[in-house]
Structures are given as structure tokens and as C-alpha cells.
Structure 1
Amino acid sequence: MKASPSFQSMTIEEISKDNVSDLAQLVLYLWPECNYKEEFQNGLKILKSKNETAFIAKNHGIYLGFIQLSLRHEYVEGTSSSPVLYMEGIYVDPSHRKEGIAKKLVEKAQLWGKTNGCTEMASDSFISNKNSIDFHQSVGFEEVSRLVTFKKKI
């Protein structure tokens, strides 16, 4: 494993008009099937929302990762409270993984969730995404179920 650079100057910023374009670019790394214009518009929507936010990790002027969150008031599988803090997505640049950045993003998310009345946090992952499942477990999530969905054209 490579040596971790100093993250003493790392900051976690909440989404703002000043960094919404940077968030949109980071989102494309996690979800490459999306496009920049749509994600920029989604960022603007998040800025106006009381039930959504995002945080971006920045070190020495470089954005390294993000976490996108929502407050879900409907039932979330495996939970017993409402609202539930939901991690919609999390991403850290591959060259900076395993350095604690994602953990710091999750900690910031939890603070935001607590401020908004949440006592539980939830997320999901594809069954085939072992890296995501391992990450979730490493930051304290517990698996509550596995699901396979189906569709059929009629």
C-alpha cells in the first residue's frame, strides 16, 4: 500500500453554488452513464432541498470524493425509524482510497443526519459489488437483506 499523503489540510465541504460543478464532475466517476449537464442540474436541485445534501472532500485545492445523502421518510428496509439518513452514493478517487477519506465523509454525513432527526443510516449496493459491500461493512453498516429484482416486457 502506498504511503498516505498528509490530510491535515483536508476539508469536507457541504454542497454550495461554489462547488456544485465539482460535485457534478465527481458524480460522473461513480455513475459514468450520467451526463454532466443533468448532474449539474441535480446539484442545483439538491442545493434547494431540505431533504438532500452532499459533502465533498477537498485536499490542497483538489476534490477527492463525495457523499450524496437524502432523508427518507418512507419505510427503508431494515430500519425502524423515520426519517432515515440514506447514503445515495459515495465516491473517492481510486488513487486516494484506503486513506480514511470515505470514513470522514460518512462521519460528516452522520452528523448531518443527527441534526435532521435521524437515528439510523441506510444504503444499498449491487450484490455483485464486493468492494462496496466490504466498504459498507468497514464503516459500520450491517447487511439486512439481499434482493434480486426482475422485469418482463408484456
Structure 2
Amino acid sequence: MVFQATLEDLSECLELAQLLWPSSDKIALEKELEQLLQDSNAALFIEKDKLSRTLGFAQVQLRFDYVEGTRSSPVGYLEGIYVREESRREGLAKRLISACESWAKVKGCSEFASDCELTNTESYMMHLKLGFGEVNRVICFNKDL
């Protein structure tokens, strides 16, 4: 069952967020998630099994700046989603994203967006399967000054 996480769920959200973003500093990530759980323009959704094990999570936020390929503001934005490997291909990502979309609609959004790395073919295929349409591809550059 998918439900919106609260501060009581912070440790479970942190565990899955670390699996999604392994290079992130644990303390900084925990602070960020704690802030998001208290922000009315953001939400975390989790699904637990019958034994209360957290199987997956999704982070959604409102974006008020321009979002590639959209025509409105704010836009509900899927910032991250992670489903434990043993729970994949069982519809969990679809349920999590559906909860995020419903939350965004309640917040007044008429569009929902996301992104993934060009090389993340598993995420790319999941997005397509769940009704997202590709709007752009970007390669980012930088250099030291």
C-alpha cells in the first residue's frame, strides 16, 4: 500500500534514497529529506509490504521555474524513485508515480514531468511504460576557470 511519508518514516526514506543516490553524503541527504517532509511543496511516498518492510519510495516536488517541455506552472516533478530490486516489475513504480501525480493534481498542477540520465536505460524504459513522453535530450558541459 502506498502512502505519503511523514517524519516518522525518515529512516526508511533515507535508506532507499541512499540506494538511489549512493554518492550523496548521508547526513546532508537526511537533512534534505527531513526538510522535504515538512515542505508543503514536496512529498515523499512509500510502499510497505505486509511485514512493514519499505519496498520503494518516490519524491515529488512542485517546480515553479521552467520545466523542459511543459507549458504551465507549477509542474509536479518526479525528483526520484527507487524500488528494491526484488520488488521490481510488480507495478510498484506505477503505484508510486500515480500517488505523486494525484498529489500534484491536488496542488493545482496540470502537467507532470521527470528526467533520467541518458545512460539509465532501465529508468528510461520505466518512464515510457508509465506514460511519459520524451521531450528533449541534453548533454551538460563545464570547465574550470
TM more than 0.5? yes
Deviates more, 1:58-67 or 1:43-52: 43-52
Give the ranges of 4+ consecutive aligned residues of structure 1 lying more than 6 Å apart after TM superposition: none
In the TM superposition, residue 132 of structure 1 has moved relative to its aligned partner by 0.8
How many residues are matched? 144
Gapped regions of structure 2 (runs ≥ 5): none
Aligned to 1:30: 20
Q: What secondary structure does 1:85 align onto?
A: strand
Match of 1:55 in 2: 45
1:90 maps to 81
* Residue 120 (structure 1) shift: 0.5
Q: Could you tell me which residue of structure 2 aligns to residue 141 of structure 1?
A: 132
The within-5 A match list for 1:4-153 is: 11-60=1-50, 61-153=52-144
* 3-state SS, counterpart of residue 42 of structure 1: helix
- Aligned partner letter, 1:22: E
SS in 1 for 2:59: strand
User: One-letter code of the match for 2:33?
Assistant: G
TM-score normalised according to structure 1 size: 0.90
CA distance in 2, matches of 1:47, 1:139: 25
Name stretches of at least 5 consecutive residues in structure 1 with no aligned partner: 1-10
Q: Describe the SS at the equivalent of 2:7.
A: coil
Say which SS state the counterpart of residue 144 (structure 1) adopts: coil
Give distance in 2, aligned partners of 1:26 and 1:13.
Answer: 15
Distance in 2 of aligned mates of 1:14 and 1:20: 11
**Bigger CA radius of gyration:** 1
- Give 1:110 shift: 0.8
RMSD over aligned CA atoms reads 0.9
Percent identical: 38
Letter in 1 for 2:119: S
> Aligned to 1:19, what secondary structure does the other structure show?
helix
TM-score normalized with structure 2 length: 0.96
